[in-house]
Amino acid sequence: MEDRNQITAKQLGVFILSAQIGLGVIGFPSNLANEIGRNGWLSILCAGILSTIIAVIITALLQRYSGQSIFEINQYLFGKFPGQIINYILILYLSFLMVIGFRYFTEFIKLFTLESTPDLFLALLIIVPTAYLSWHGLKPVARFSQIIFFILFFILVLCVLTIKRVRWTFLMPVRVPDPATLGQSIVPAILAFIGFELTIFLYPYISDKQNARKWLVAANLGATVFIVIIFLVTVGVFGENLVKTQAAPLFNLARFYRAPYFGRVDLFFILLWFPLLEGTFRSYFFTTYDSLRRYSPGKNQKLVYGLYTALTILLSRLPRDLIQAVQLAKAVNLAGIGVFGFLILCYLYSLVNKRGVKVK
C-alpha cells in the first residue's frame, strides 16, 4: 500500500463531505424548489436519513470483504468476466460525473466572475491545482479537503447574519405530503448526497477501517444539516417563486447582504466559494484516475496522467453551454442513484454468495 494514499477514516469522512457539498449546493435550492416547493426541507431530511442507511449498508458490504474495493468484490460476486464489465461501467460513471462536474464548475465561474477569460485558459487555471494535488496521492487531497470546515463556518455565519431578513411566511404552511408524493420528492433530494459512493473505491486506503462507518455516517448527517439550513435560509429570504428563477441562490444570498464597513460580502465570499466548488471535482478527479491506475496499471504513469488531464479538459468542452451541462449532470446524478441500488443488491447477494467473504 502506497503511503501517500493511506488515510484515516476521519480523513475519508472529510473527503466525502467535500465531494457532497461542493458543486451540489450551487443550484440545489432552486432545483428542489422547482420540484417540490417550500417544504423541500422535509424531503432533504428524508433523503439524508435514507442515504445514511445506504451508507451503513455500503460499509457493511465492504467489511465483509476486508481490505477489498468494489473492483475485487464484483469479481467475487459475479465472476471474473461479468465483474470486469461491471467495473468498467463504474469507472465510466466516475468519468462522466467528473467531466460534467468540471464543465459545470468552469461555466459557473465564467458566468459569475471571469466573463472575459478564454474558456481553455480558465479550464487550465482550474485543473492545475487539482492535478497537482491528485498526482501526489490521496493523503494530500484529503488533507486539503479539511479547508471545507473553514468555508462552511463562514457560510453558516452568513446564514446567521441574514436570518433577520427571513420571512417565515415564505416557509408556511408546513405540510407533510402523502407517502406517495413524499417518496417521489426524495428522488431529486437524494441527488444532493451523491458522493459518498466514492467510499467503495477508496476503502482499501483506510488505515482504521473499523471506524469507516462512523465517519461516513457523520459526513452524511453533517451534509444533511448543512443543506437543510441553506434551503431554509435561501427560501426564507427570497421566497419560493424567486428561488426557482435563480441559478445560484447561495451566491445571491452573499450578494444580498451588506456588511458595515465592508459593503459587498460577495466579493469576499468568492474567495471562499472557489475551493468549495472545486471539492466535488477534485474528489472525482482523483478517484477516477486512481481507479484507472489500479484497474489498468501502466508503466509510464506520468505520460498517462498528462493524457488523462488533457482528455478531461477536451471532453468537458463537448457540452455546448451551461444548460446542456446541467442537463447532463442531472442524468449522470440519476445514474448515481442507480449505483446506490446496485450496491444494496451486492450486499444482499453477498449474503447468499459468500465467495471471498472474510469469516471472522
* Lowest-confidence pick of 115-119, 260-264, 305-309: 260-264
Looking at residue 201, what is its pLDDT? 92
Q: Domain limits of the chain?
A: 3-350
Q: If 0-12 CB within 10 Å is exposed, 13-18 middle and 19+ buried, where does residue 242 land?
A: middle
Please give the torsion angle defined by the CA atoms of residues 59, 63, 67 and 69, in that order, rounded to the nearest 10 degrees: -50
Comparing 23 with 124, which gets the higher pLDDT? 124
Cell 468498467 locates to: 88
- 3-350 maps to CATH 3.30.750.200: no
Comparing 31 with 211, which gets the higher pLDDT? 211
Which pTM does this prediction carry?
0.89
* Lowest-confidence pick of 134-143, 254-263, 306-315, 333-342: 254-263
- b vs e for 216-233, b when ≥16 Cβ sit within 10 Å of the residue's Cβ? bbbbbebbbebbbbbbbb
pLDDT tier for residue 347 given thresholds of 50, 70 and 90? very high
pLDDT tens digit sequence for 176-210: 666 776 777 787 788 888 888 899 999 999 988 88
* Of 189, 195, 237, 196, the residue nearest 215 (C-alpha): 196
Q: Has residue 117 got a pLDDT over 60?
A: yes
Mean predicted confidence (pLDDT) in 110-123: 79
Share of the chain above pLDDT 70, in %: 92
Cα 247 to Cα 225: distance, rounded to the nearest angstrom: 22
Average pLDDT, the chain: 83
pLDDT tens digit sequence for 267-292: 677 677 777 778 888 899 999 999 88
* Lowest-confidence pick of 36-50, 111-125, 344-358: 111-125
- Indicate the residue type of 279: G
Cα 142 to Cα 285: distance, rounded to the nearest angstrom: 13
Tell how far CA 218 is from the center of its chain: 15
Distances (CA, A) of 228 to 40, 45, 156, 356: 9, 7, 12, 40
Are the C-beta atoms of residues 21 and 276 closer than 8 Å to each other? yes
pLDDT tens digit sequence for 60-107: 999 888 778 889 899 999 988 898 999 999 999 999 888 888 888 888
CB atoms under 10 Å from CB of 163, counted, come to 13
Cα 42 to Cα 175: distance, rounded to the nearest angstrom: 9
Q: Has residue 120 got a pLDDT over 70?
A: yes
